[in-house]
Structure formats: C-alpha cells, structure tokens
Amino acid sequence: MNKQTCPQFELLLEACLVPRARVAETFRLDDVEPASVGLLPLLYRNLAAARVEHASMGKLKGMYRRCWYANQRLLKGTAGVLDRLHEIGIPTVMIHDVPLAIRYYRDLGARPLHKASVVVPPERAEEALRAVEELGFLRTTWMPRGKRGDFFRFRHAAGFRDPEGNEVQLHWRALWLARHDFGDYTEPLEVGGCATKSLKPTEELLLTCARGFTWEAAPLWWAADATMLLRNAAIDWERLLRTARETRTVLPLREALGYVAERFAAGVPVEVLRELEASQAPGEDRRLHLWMSNPGGHRSVLKLVPACWAMQRRTIGRGSWARSLVKLPRFVEYHWRVDRKRDLPGRAWRWLRRSGSAGGRW
C-alpha cells in the first residue's frame, strides 16, 4: 500500500483484531507510541475475550473504562446538537466514529470517539452552522470573512468544540471530494437518547476506506474500523463497486480492502478484489490518490498544483476548463485559509520555505 505506516502500529493492530494473536501475549505497554494509545481499549477487549493473562491487564481495563466514560459524554453533547437541528427542521445523518462504535464495535468502551460527524442537507448547511454556534460551541474550522458562498462549495465540513471539549463536525457532503447523495441508504440510529439516522453498512464501509487514505489521517485507524464493520455487517458488494465508480473512490477502496483482507482475514470476496484490481481509474484520479496517500506529497510543489486542480474540479463539478481555471486561485485561498487574494503570494512563499525545511521538493 502507498500509505506509509508504522510497523509497531500494525503489530498492535494485529493484537487488537486477531483472536489469540501471539503478539498480544508479548505486548508491552511501555512500547506503545502516542499515536497508538487509542487502540488500547480495543486491545483490552480482545485480550479479555481470549482470557489472556497479561501483566498490563489492570491498566488496560482502566483505559477501557475511561474510554467508555468519555464516549458517553460526547454522545450526550451530540444529542443536544441533534435535538436543536431537529427542532428547526434540519434532518441529520451520523457518519464515521459514532455509528461505527455503536453498530459495529458494539461496545462504547472499545473505540474512542474522536468526534461526532453529523451530515445535514447542503442547502441548509449555513443555517445548521449558526444553530450549533448558538448552543455555545466554538467553531474550530477556518472560515473567510465576508461572503461565504465558496466556503460551502470548496469545503465539505466544519468542526466545533463545546466548553467540555466534546468535538462535533458538521458535514454538508459525506465524501470530501464527491457530490453524492446517500439519502436512499440510511437506517435509524439512536444517539444519546435522540433518534437520528446512519448510513447503511455498504456506504459506511466506502466512507471508511476513502477517509483513511489522506496524508493527515491517523495511521491505520480506518483498518480497525473497516475490519470490525466487515465482521459484523452484511455488505452489498455490487452496490459498493457501483458507488465507488460513481464517487471515483475505486483506488482507495482497492488498497483498503486488499489490505484488511490479507492482514486480518476480513472476509472480502476474491471476485470483488479482482474486479477492483481490473478497474481503470482516470489519470487525474491516480495522481490525486498518490498525492493524498503520501504523507510527504503535500510538500511537493509539482504535486500540489495538479492536486489542487483535481480537487477543485471534483468539488465544483467538471464544468468548462475556463471556469475551473478562473476558480483555481479561489480554491487555493480556501485550501491555504487565506482571507484576501493579495495575501496569497506571501502565504505561498511561507509554504515554500516551510516545505523546504521539512524535506519538501519541487
């Protein structure tokens, strides 16, 4: 796979997901890196289920309990957001962490909820943002001064944090780089006593795999999520393949399913893997996938420019090249969080200097 991963993280993931994995019995708590700590509640559950005697079981159990408590607090805060949105007639669909933990891990102590992701209709996104801010949540996502029309066109979500530290992300597109309506494939979900909806397993699997292949994503968290989902839900493989083609996510889906099938025996049909392998992706999609799945790719100027071109074409639709060219500087402003056009050259120069010092290249 293109995504750079840490071997120690992969070993810990194996200890979490593979029953009676030998690495679980030789696991040492002192060897865990900060990026891997979130997996320890899941490791505890796997060890406890297999009745493995381990010197760190007491500490792991404490982490599991703290994870459960923190998740309960997040769900309570999320329920308040959902109630408010429903009061003003805005429908909601939960994606990512919350439905994964409730439906597929089936244990709120085993999977830390980093944030609650809520999807609202695009045409009511600005109204939903105001409603969340009125509840006392602080917006953590950059937003330009003045006119904000392009913000909702170029971005797909905005993050918020309440005074207790709970994070909610409001989406108006479930997929960052695809305008796809998943409304026909939802099912009821209860969050903190509030009735809402979540995507069906097939669509959640697609989002999980596509979400994992970005250079900013936590390494391999998506692999745990995809494996638990595949083990605990029935997938409509024909619909999955069709939707992947429609949303141009064949490449991340191919790599993700191939990885979890080989590493964790996740139960992906061989014919599905073969069909994904045989699928042809446009050159624009291949370049964008390579850039997004390479942790250093965002520091290369020669890769950044065509990647921004591809991203803005995906977000605003494949209109005329002239229209895309006119919109490209505006998209770069949003990508770099620049309020005024005259600040763009200075921001570009600072980015080039920082990229060079960080090992970036032309």
What does residue 266 show for φ and ψ, rounded to 5 degrees? -80, 0
pLDDT in tens, 81-99: 999 999 999 999 999 999 9
Residues 6+ apart with CB under 8 A from 58: none
Two structure tokens written together for 26: 């030789």
Q: Are 119 and 181 in contact (CB under 8 A)?
A: no
CATH number for region 71-199: 3.30.460.40
* More confident position, 208 or 326: 208
Range among 38-52, 119-133, 253-267, 281-295 with highest mean pLDDT value: 119-133
Mean pLDDT of 26-33: 72
Domain segments of the chain: what residues?
A: 71-199, 296-357
CA distance 353 to 279: 39
Determine the residue type at 269.
P
| pLDDT value of residue 294 | 67
CA distance 310 to 278: 23
pLDDT in tens, 266-309: 889 999 999 999 988 877 777 777 767 765 555 555 666 677 76
CA distance 240 to 230: 13
CA distance 152 to 201: 27
Determine the residue type at 122.
P
